[in-house]
Amino acid sequence: MSLLIKNGRVITSTADCEADVLVVGETIAKIAASINAADHPNAEVIDASGKYVFPGFIDPHVHIHLPFMGTNAIDDHASATKAALAGGTTTVIEMICPGPDDEPMAAFHEWKDLAAAGACCDYSFHLSVVRFDELAQQQLRELVASEGVASFKVFLAYKGALDIADEQLFELMKTARELGVIITAHCENAEAVDSMQKQLLAEGKTGPEWHEPSRPRSVEADGVSHLCTFAELTGAHVYIVHTSNAAAVSQAMQAKSRGVNVFVEAVAPHLVLDKTYAERPDFEGAKYVMSPPLRDGEEHEHLWRSLASGDMVTIGTDHAPFKFSGQKDMGRDAFTLIPNGIPGVQERVDLVHTHGVCAGRIDLQTMVDVCSTQAAKIFGLYPCKGEIAVGSDADVVIYDPHFTGVFSHADAESQVDYSGYEGMERKGRCELVIRRGDIVARDGRYVGGGGGGRYLPRIPTH
């Protein structure tokens, strides 16, 4: 199948120009100021007049199959990736989160098999390391060599469940440096959070509004400092996920100034929501419990400025879909039992366009860079992904910047029972989403068939 996209404004991280784009099969075959449709009689012609033509977006931080706090995220790979595609995301990198007794090899194949059975967009994985004994070390090396695992995940949080002891973290980071694998990290302080949670519960402070005070900004900044110290000592490359506040970003930039190889991620909830959402009455705030928590609204401008300056390099979602009814309400008697996460894989691109570009905080090229290109470069997917160039995968988004509306759960492809952004203003929408040459979404709704996603092995390069 061939597609000829004409009259669009092609926007990448480095270019902004009027151009036509020819897609042949699964790849981009030609880009020119004008391509004559008569020279390609078998191509379907798409008129993109007045529209942006973006590379397919990449979400570097999603959870789909996620066992957490005694339950499991409600999406499967079909529903989550349909949501991603409806919102313009053509590639996701999912976090594999095994338990401390699980073997890395078994966990990887469990997640990969589930994705292969249902994923509609292309996908890869970060492999969480929650144990680092001799068997785990051996299996991690095998997975890097044979399955193209190029990023690990560590948690400096969730004491007794997902956290890893310092001596193991140090050895893991030395191994990652040896293998060229990047370490992605949830940075807090597991011991401090655990102590504060126990104190608050003992005082009868059990509602979701106490989640943020149990893990304040200083705890997150401390976790960033701690990780960066280990990175400095081992030479490992580190990527700090869902960074929520200026103090944490500052710790990373101080380390970077010393030569530490550190990348910093923002996620959509921290850019547009604040902690008052988690303080809503009648337990409604549970919908907005995530870790690190939503912060004061003043942090929004700090984070947007960091994205504009390049201190923060990507925007993900930390998509973690738990139903309000039947899952989030497990924590009615104790906020520590509320499954953490806010769904958002479908809304991310429109949120960034609305609150970033339309608000004058970032330009269109920065939007492409932080929502697509940098993730591709950092995680070994570039230039097949994250770019509009001859030879790149034909992952293309034709975007209507003139669309206006509101975010609504009624438009969701995810199986979660609420939208974290319900009723918020929405400027812009994906008119067409093309995954490797196939049109899979129109006007913000998924229209492709079942499956079609492809696993993306990666070569460690750090």
Judge whether 290 lies within some domain.
yes
State mean pLDDT over 419-428: 98
Residue 112 pLDDT more than 90? Answer: yes
Enclosing domain of residue 165: 57-378
Eight-state DSSP code of residue 110: H
Residue 115 pLDDT more than 90? Answer: yes
Task: Assess whether 319 and 410 both reside in one domain.
Answer: no
- Helix 166-179, helix 134-147: angle, nearest 10: 30
CB distance 372 to 112 below 8 Å: no
Specify the number of domains making up the chain. Answer: 2
Task: Assess whether 415 and 275 both reside in one domain.
Answer: no
Nearest 10 degrees: Cα torsion 319, 323, 326, 331: 50
Phi-psi region of 88 (alpha: psi -120 to 50; beta: other; left: phi over 0): left
Taking alpha carbons only, the member of 455, 368, 444 closest to residue 55 is: 368
Return the residue matching tokens 């918020």: 424
H helices, E strands: number in the chain:
12, 19
Report residue 195's pLDDT band, with 50, 70 and 90 as the boundaries.
very high
Nearest 10 degrees: Cα torsion 42, 44, 50, 54: -100
Judge whether 459 lies within some domain.
no
Q: What are phi and psi for residue 24, nearest 5 degrees?
A: -125, 120
Return the residue matching tokens 């029972």: 417
Residue 1 pLDDT more than 90? Answer: no
Distance, CA of 456 to CA of 317 (rounded, Å): 20
Residue 298 pLDDT more than 90? Answer: yes
Residue-level pLDDT at 159: 87
Task: Assess whether 143 and 279 both reside in one domain.
Answer: yes
Judge whether 201 lies within some domain.
yes
Distance, CA of 369 to CA of 377 (rounded, Å): 10
Task: Assess whether 409 and 369 both reside in one domain.
Answer: no
Name, in order, each residue with C-beta under 8 angstroms of 298's C-beta and a sequence gap of 6 or more. none
For the chain, give the mean pLDDT.
Answer: 97
Task: Assess whether 261 and 329 both reside in one domain.
Answer: yes
Task: Assess whether 46 and 62 both reside in one domain.
Answer: no
Residue-level pLDDT at 120: 98
Distance, CA of 246 to CA of 263 (rounded, Å): 15
Judge whether 451 lies within some domain.
no
**Other CB atoms within 10 A of residue 449 CB:** 9
Distance, CA of 120 to CA of 91 (rounded, Å): 9
Task: Assess whether 278 and 330 both reside in one domain.
Answer: yes
Residue 69 pLDDT more than 90? Answer: no
Residue 78 belongs to domain with CATH number = 3.20.20.140
State mean pLDDT over 260-281: 98
State mean pLDDT over 437-455: 97
Judge whether 454 lies within some domain.
no
CB distance 210 to 175 below 8 Å: no
Last residue of some domain: 328, 346, 378?
378
Task: Assess whether 30 and 133 both reside in one domain.
Answer: no
State mean pLDDT over 227-242: 98
Give CA separation, 435 vs 85, 206, 281, 343, in Å. 8, 45, 42, 22
Query: Of 160-174, 365-379, 420-434, 436-450, which gets the smallest average pLDDT?
Result: 160-174
Give the strand pairing for 396-406 and 52-55.
antiparallel
Judge whether 462 lies within some domain.
no
CB distance 343 to 319 below 8 Å: yes
Task: Assess whether 112 and 129 both reside in one domain.
Answer: yes
Residue 348 pLDDT more than 90? Answer: yes
Task: Assess whether 63 and 43 both reside in one domain.
Answer: no
CB distance 318 to 290 below 8 Å: yes
Residue 417 belongs to domain with CATH number = 2.30.40.10
Per-residue b or e along 82-107, where b marks 16 or more CB atoms closer than 10 Å to that residue's CB: bbbbbbbbbbbbbbbbbeeebebbeb
Distance, CA of 57 to CA of 158 (rounded, Å): 30
Task: Assess whether 24 and 81 both reside in one domain.
Answer: no
Residue-level pLDDT at 160: 80
Residue-level pLDDT at 163: 86
Report residue 68's pLDDT band, with 50, 70 and 90 as the boundaries.
confident
Residue 162 pLDDT more than 90? Answer: no
Distance, CA of 131 to CA of 152 (rounded, Å): 12
Residue 173 pLDDT more than 90? Answer: yes
Distance, CA of 240 to CA of 264 (rounded, Å): 5
Judge whether 276 lies within some domain.
yes
Report residue 259's pLDDT band, with 50, 70 and 90 as the boundaries.
very high
Taking alpha carbons only, the member of 458, 457, 456 closest to residue 90 is: 456
Judge whether 455 lies within some domain.
no
Q: Give 262-320 as a DSSP string.
A: EEEEEEHHHHH--TTGGG-TTTGGGGG--SSPP--TTHHHHHHHHHHHTSS-EEE--B-
Task: Assess whether 347 and 417 both reside in one domain.
Answer: no
